[in-house]
Every structure is written in C-alpha cells, then in structure tokens.
C-alpha cells in the first residue's frame, strides 16, 4: 500500500524567497511520485513527476523535486517564489502499473509581497 | 499533451434529483478512469476506478448505487449522482490514465462543483 505525508498544511514565504514543500512517501514497491498544483475551484495541474531515471526532476514554472529513496522523500523546491505560485500543492504516489494516485493532504502556499 | 475535458464545471440541483458528470479524453485513450471527491480545504479521496467495458470498482464506504459510473468507451466516462442530497455537495474530479503509452501519467479533468440545495 502507498501513503503520502506532506509536512506543513500551510507554508508562507516572501516573494523571491526559496520555496520548499516537503513530501515523504511510503510504498511497498518502487513508486511513481508526482506533484500537482491546484488553484481555487480548478482541477489539478501536473508540475512534475518521477517514474524512473534521473532522481532530480525538473518541472514547469521553475519547480523541481528530488527523489531520495534512502529518505523516502520527494520534496518540491523553487529558488524564487512568485506571487502567482500561491496555491494548493499536492504530492501523490502510485505503484507502478495502472493503480490510482494516493494524495497527501496538501500544502497551501502563500506568497507575501 | 493529454487532455481530459470534464463537464459541467458547476451544477446546482435540487435535493432528490440526479446529476451526470462527463469526462472525455480528447487526444488519448483512457483505458482507466479514476473518480475523486474533494471536500473544501481537503485532499482528493478516491471514489472508484473504472476500466473501459468493465464494472467500476468502488472504494470502501462509497455507495455504488448512488454514484453510478459508466465507462463504455475509451474516451468517455460518466459519473451520475443519483437522488442527490446536500451532503453530496462536493468537488468531483476525474483522472484518465493510459499506462500503455510512453507518456505514463494521470490526466485530470478540471473538476465539477456540485451543489445540492
């Protein structure tokens, strides 16, 4: 079975500061890992995903995440926050194969001018 | 990239009526469709998994007679909320998946905000 823990339900950063959203996972098999962003009353937009290969994954809008198997982590970072990054972020995991995503509880990112 | 079109985006219905939500995969074949429900300020909870041409598999606690899922083709899946009640008010999101393709991934619809009055 898979599970995801997102540390911090709410993270607040200043515009231009580093963004770090934490995600730890549990999986009985090698996982597929995802980060999604959700704006109010909208669906989910994929930021990036790790399936195989390079453990440092670059996504859209300047975000990246690193898969660390030894730490069972997949933290999301962005060097410089922008006001438009304010949203809800979800980390998700799936087993390899046609299985549903299991989501963390989400982290709301606020960006202060 | 892959797109899932979900309609309607918002719907208000009277208690006791039924509402149908459609999800269409526009440029890929969604062999599997996952249906999620999201309450305000909460995460997505899986309701059911449907494979094209088969009966849906529902998660524990989800009433299959209340949430009817049809996945008759590789590009269309529907969720019908029957005899809706105010407690069914929620945000419903579908996710299409075709793991047989090179671009393995889950493509989400834009969601449906259901309000039952």
Asked if the C-beta of A51 comes within 8 angstroms of chain B's C-beta atoms, the answer is yes
- The confidence score (pLDDT) of residue B106 equals 84
Q: How many CA atoms lie within 13 A of B39 on its CB side?
A: 7
Task: Write down the pLDDT at residue B99.
Answer: 66
Looking at residues A3-7, what average pLDDT do you find? Answer: 95
* pLDDT for res B30: 86
CA distance B55 to B49: 9
The torsion angles phi and psi of A62, rounded to 5 degrees, stand at 85, 5
Which of B35, B52, B108 to probe by mutation at the A interface, max A CB count within 10 Å? B108
Q: What percent of chain B is predicted at pLDDT more than 90? A: 72
pLDDT at A43: 86
Beta bridge partners of B51: B32
First to last CA, chain A: 41
Residues B42-90 have pLDDT tens digits of: 899 999 999 888 899 999 999 999 999 999 898 999 999 999 999 999 9
Residue A76 pLDDT:
98
**pLDDT above 70 for B102:** no
Structure tokens at B96: 């299409």
Whether residue A98 is predicted with pLDDT greater than 80 in this model: the reply is no
**Residue-wise pLDDT tens digits, A53-89:** 899 999 999 999 999 999 999 999 999 999 999 999 9
Whether residue B108 has pLDDT greater than 60: yes
Res B59: pLDDT: 96
- A101 CB neighbours in chain B (<8 A) are 34, 44, 46, 95, 106
* For residue B104, pLDDT beyond 60: no
Q: How many angstroms separate the CA atoms of B61 and B67, rounded?
A: 11
Nearest residue, CB atoms, B110 vs list A34, A43, A101: A43
**Cβ–Cβ under 8 Å, residues A2 and A27:** yes
Give CA–CA dist B54/A2, Å, rounded: 25
Which member of A45, A100, A105 has the closest CB to residue B34? A100
| Helix/strand/coil for A104 | coil
Contact B25, B4 (CB under 8 A): yes
Residue of B nearest to A33 (CA): B105
| Residue A40 in tokens | 């109010």
Structure confidence by residue, pLDDT tens digits, A29-60:
889 999 999 998 788 999 999 988 899 999 99
Question: Each residue of B57-80: b (16+ CB within 10 Å) or e?
Answer: ebeeebeeeebbbbbeebbbbbbe
Q: Are A39 and A106 in contact (CB under 8 A)?
A: no
Name the residue among A102, A74, A112 with its Cα closest to residue B106: A102
Count how many Cα atoms sit within 13 Å of the Cα of residue A101 in the half-sphere of its side chain: 33
10 Å Cβ neighbour count for B102?
Answer: 5
In this prediction, residue B101 carries a pLDDT of 60
Do B84 and B18 contact (CB within 8 A), yes or no?
Answer: yes
């Amino acid at each position: 079975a898979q599970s995801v823990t997102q540390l911090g339900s709410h993270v607040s950063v200043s515009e231009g500061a580093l963004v770090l959203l934490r995600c730890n996972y549990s999986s009985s098999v090698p996982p597929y890992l995802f980060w999604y962003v959700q704006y109010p009353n909208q669906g989910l937009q994929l930021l990036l995903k790790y399936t195989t290969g390079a453990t440092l994954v670059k996504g859209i809008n300047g975000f990246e995440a690193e898969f660390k198997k030894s730490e069972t982590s997949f933290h999301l970072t962005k060097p410089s926050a922008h006001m438009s990054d304010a949203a809800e972020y979800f980390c998700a995991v799936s087993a390899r194969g046609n299985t549903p995503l299991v989501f963390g509880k989400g982290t709301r990112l606020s960006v202060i001018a | 990239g892959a797109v899932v079109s979900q309609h309607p985006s918002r719907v208000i219905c009277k208690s006791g009526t039924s509402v149908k939500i459609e999800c269409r995969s526009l440029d890929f074949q969604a062999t599997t469709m996952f249906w999620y429900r999201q309450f305000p300020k909460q995460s997505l909870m899986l309701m059911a998994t449907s494979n094209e041409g088969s009966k849906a598999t529902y998660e524990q606690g989800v009433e299959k007679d209340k949430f009817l899922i049809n996945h008759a083709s590789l590009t269309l899946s529907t969720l019908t909320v029957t005899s809706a009640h105010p407690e069914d008010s929620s945000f419903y999101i579908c996710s299409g998946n075709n793991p047989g393709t090179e671009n393995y991934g889950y493509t989400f619809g834009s969601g449906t905000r259901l309000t039952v009055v």
